[in-house]
Amino acid sequence: MENEIRKVEVVLKSNELFYKENEEIRERYNLAMERIGLMEEEKTVKEPYYDFFQKEASFVLFIKSIVEMVEQNRLSKLTLQEIQSVNRTLYEDLIGDNYNVSYTNPSFACERMGKKYGKLLSFLATELRSIIVYAFENRLYELTIYLELFIEVYNYFEREDEFTFKDVKRTIYTFMIDYCDILVEHRTRELLDTNLSFAKDIIMDSDLSDLRYLYLFGEYITENEIKTAEFINSLPEEQVKAMADTFTEGFRLGFISNRLDLSKKSIVNIRYQIGFERMVRYAIENFKKLGLEVTIYRAAYNAVNKRQHLKIGYHSTSPNRQYDFDHRFDIGIFYDKAFQVRQLEALKASYEKYQDQGVLYAGPAVIQVFGEELFVPEDKKEAIRLDKRQQKLHVDYTNKSGLLSMEYLKPEETSFTIIAYPIPEIGKDYEEIFAETVKVNTLDSTLYQKIQQNIIDALDQGEYVRIQGGGKNRTDIKVMIHPLEKPEKETAFENCVADVNIPVGEVFTSPVLKGTEGVLHVPKVYLNELEYRELELKFEDGIISEYTCGNFTEESKNKSFVKENLLFNHDYLPLGEFAIGTNTTAYMMGKKFDIAPRLPILIAEKTGPHFAIGDTCYKHSEEVKTYNPDGKEIVARDNEISLLRKTDPSKAYFNCHTDITLPYDELKEIAVYCKDGTIIPIIQDGRFVLAGTEELNKALDEA
């Protein structure tokens, strides 16, 4: 009975938080639901649109039942089978082959309703999926405005021959303009307002041994979430605490290593995948001891707040990654200059409203996962895309929103930490891989620090580094090193140990762009949750001048795939970081279990040299002096583009940073080239050859 009461309290807190605004809009909500209920009985819309509205109305009415269960505290009283049935019904049309005949699938929608209306109504069906979130979080205001949008569009289709495509599109555009401020403000509030405790309440107040709690989030729950929770529940308490300690200690050490005052901060944002609640509960308690209250926001669902197909915030396994990919640019339905201005105004207003909390924000603490089957998306012609004008507008928005973030969240005063663990989808060796990952995450930082210092000492002597691929890898690139005025006090490379960036194992720098040139090629790599085959980037003076991949038979599709998903629609990106990964233990874990392509970039970047395109690692914190453990100041915090922040901040940042790793077995050589003609090899034929790095080869010799 005690467990039951605790579950009920989770819901009650959410009810109380939005009680006033829910009551203010309840009449509109009831009228909207009543109107949608009539749609199931009416036949006032003709085919091919009748079926669409019938199915979407049925979905909305099921959401009505969710709202009732939430408000009456009945969700947590359902049996496991009952609540699983609810979860399945909510996401059923997105799962597996069902997606082929779902109106959220733009291909099916266009086939049934024509290209123009198909795209519009597929967008509408997708936006309606966000009301799942609003129902579980008991946010009737956002839920109601989406219901009213659905009704308004339906009304047009009732009046045959009395409306045009432009009328329907204008309705959607007007909705997005009118409610942009509501959607944007809530996203900022989720980051900064610790009173928004929906997820935290589930984590802290539920009986985590009763897996019904997983379904209270409203996310799609798969075997990944169930088996992860079961496995972590099976671990000794000391081990789970140790995992949480590694995670939160990394965050604390980030403030120490960057000489920042954590005592001035009181808010930290946790992002993770559902299933890790037992670890997250201990992390919340640890952060509280550090004087930090936690916010935990959900990965964005609506087009206004989404960042393409990426999941930023807490989330579960996607019911369908092709669905996510198909709708990554849904803003293209309504995005223009007026909307961009409106969105920026809304973002600034939201930061103003929560500026006191923004000053207290300490940064994100992220638990990543890995192990999902590799995903090669279908690039559908029916999916919404950004045209060239919209691409430029959106890139401009990204830059300007980044400057607003700098102004209100003070990134130079924040830190972060990231750690990663596998999920059960990785296969039969899941538990063994999990144990190996814990080992990788807790390697001896002191040992690596000493080894990496030898590499830095060699690199600091050089004018540039040359990286050559071996075998099928055609990489041949020269990376210029920041010159040192006082070598006895300065260094160009950071000695990265396991603080913010777990696991240990890399030295990195912001390269000088002028003179950095050549080709970066990877036969197969997984970046931002997408697989790239035969990825090739050409650099001239540190800037990407040409790019392609081998994912599609049509070269135009290859180029657009790289531009949209790797360059994030920028016309070019600089080389923001060059690093040499030293974690051969992590590399061999990938080889042993044949999971190298599935390792997250957090681990993969430590398993060979990597090149980050976009901003430097010191974005927005270039003026903060940073030091290595040996006391030397890291002076390579800028490049020629980031220095533009002093004259034209709008041109200094790209708000993206994607690491591309070359595994050791694809390397012919990494060597330092000095001005006097001396060449210092660091890696040859996939093995470390620099004096003082021999220890790293021991893991490579373990078969």
Query: Which amino acid belongs to residue 636?
Result: A
Does residue 156 have a pLDDT over 60?
Answer: yes
pLDDT band at residue 12 using 50, 70 and 90 as cut-offs: very low
Domain final position from 172, 194, 212: 172
Model pLDDT for residues 458-478, shown as the tens digit of each residue: 999 999 999 999 999 999 999
**pTM attached to this predicted model:** 0.89
519 touches 538 (CB < 8 A): yes
The predicted structure's pLDDT at residue 308: 86
CA neighbor of 659 nearest in space, from 496, 492, 440: 496
Lay out the sheet containing 679-684: strands in order across: 543-548, 530-540, 512-527, 476-480, 464-469, 667-673, 679-684, 687-688
Lay out the sheet containing 494-496: strands in order across: 494-496, 506-509, 575-581, 609-614, 657-661
The predicted structure's pLDDT at residue 15: 57
Q: How far is CA 55 from CA 111, 135, 326, 575, in A?
A: 17, 19, 20, 48
- Tell me, yes or no, whether 337 lies in a domain: no
- Tell me, yes or no, whether 359 lies in a domain: no
- Tell me, yes or no, whether 280 lies in a domain: no
The predicted structure's pLDDT at residue 419: 94
The predicted structure's pLDDT at residue 5: 39
Model pLDDT for residues 594-611, shown as the tens digit of each residue: 998 889 888 988 999 999
Mean pLDDT of 40-50: 91
Mean pLDDT of 671-692: 97
Model pLDDT for residues 245-296, shown as the tens digit of each residue: 999 999 999 898 888 999 999 999 999 999 999 999 999 999 999 999 999 9
Does residue 14 have a pLDDT over 80?
Answer: no
Model pLDDT for residues 84-139, shown as the tens digit of each residue: 999 999 999 999 999 999 999 999 999 999 999 999 999 999 999 999 999 999 99
The predicted structure's pLDDT at residue 619: 86
Q: How far is CA 533 from CA 296, 524, 559, 597, in A?
A: 35, 5, 12, 12
- Tell me, yes or no, whether 610 lies in a domain: yes
- Tell me, yes or no, whether 153 lies in a domain: yes
pLDDT band at residue 6 using 50, 70 and 90 as cut-offs: very low
Count of domains for the chain: 2
- Tell me, yes or no, whether 123 lies in a domain: yes
Model pLDDT for residues 561-604, shown as the tens digit of each residue: 999 999 999 999 999 999 999 999 999 999 999 998 889 888 98
Mean pLDDT of 386-392: 94
Mean pLDDT of 200-225: 97
- Tell me, yes or no, whether 598 lies in a domain: yes
Mean pLDDT of 322-335: 96
413 touches 255 (CB < 8 A): no
Mean pLDDT of 369-390: 92
Q: Mean pLDDT for the chain?
A: 93
- Tell me, yes or no, whether 535 lies in a domain: yes
103 touches 231 (CB < 8 A): no
Of 14-23, 31-40, 148-157, 172-181, where does mean pLDDT reach its minimum? 14-23
Domain final position from 142, 172, 202: 172
Higher model confidence: residue 501 or residue 219? 219
Domain final position from 152, 172, 192: 172
Q: At what angle do helices 277-289 and 198-205 cross, to 10 degrees?
A: 100
The predicted structure's pLDDT at residue 309: 86
Does residue 482 have a pLDDT over 70?
Answer: yes
Q: How far is CA 325 from CA 74, 299, 532, 571, in A?
A: 34, 15, 15, 21
Mean pLDDT of 528-550: 94
Higher model confidence: residue 408 or residue 309? 408
Is beta strand 476-480 parallel, antiparallel or unpaired with respect to 609-614? unpaired
pLDDT band at residue 7 using 50, 70 and 90 as cut-offs: very low
Query: Could you give the 3-state DSSP secondary structure of residue 400?
Result: helix
Mean pLDDT of 137-153: 97
Q: Which domain holds residue 492?
A: 443-700
Does residue 2 have a pLDDT over 50?
Answer: no
- The percent of residues in the chain predicted with pLDDT above 90, rounded, is 84
